[in-house]
């Protein structure tokens, strides 16, 4: 299943350090990892929030095994297209094990 994640430069550097295979552990104040279900929503966050916070925002795309994702409910975090998974920080290592292929940057905003 294709997922997207808006990210800033610090998180992206950590992803790159894994060879584009995994998301970094969450910080203590980040108990949830939020991949999103559509590129438009990821683009809005990267462009409107990440750019303001760090000067640049990236949209990443990656594949995760659908059977693994089925253990989590899709969350509607606002409007009808604002859909995301809420992956507990403690589950992120296992989540990373179910990524298929590489995490790739598909858009960049300044």
CATH classification at residue 40: 3.20.170
The pLDDT tens digits of the residues spanning 41-83 come to 999 999 999 999 999 999 999 999 999 999 999 999 888 889 9
Q: How far apart are CA 106 and CA 97, in angstroms?
A: 22
Q: Residue 3 burial (CB < 10 Å; 0-12/13-18/19+)?
A: buried
Q: How far apart are CA 27 and CA 101, in angstroms?
A: 25
DSSP 36: B
What is the rounded average pLDDT for all residues in the chain?
96
* pLDDT for position 77: 85
* pLDDT for position 15: 98
State which residues form the domain around 36: 2-109
Tally of structural domains, the chain: 1
State pTM to two decimals.
0.94
* pLDDT for position 74: 96
């Amino acid at each position: 299943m294709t997922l997207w994640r808006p990210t800033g430069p610090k998180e992206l550097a950590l992803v790159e350090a894994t060879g584009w295979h995994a998301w970094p552990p969450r910080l203590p104040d980040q108990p949830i990892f939020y991949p999103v279900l559509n590129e438009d929503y990821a683009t809005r966050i990267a462009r409107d929030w990440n750019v303001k916070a760090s000067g640049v925002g990236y949209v990443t795309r990656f594949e995760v095994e659908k059977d693994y994702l089925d253990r989590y409910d899709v969350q509607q975090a606002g409007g009808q297209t604002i859909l995301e998974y809420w992956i507990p920080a403690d589950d992120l290592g296992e989540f990373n094990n179910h990524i298929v292929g590489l995490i790739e940057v598909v858009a960049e905003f300044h």
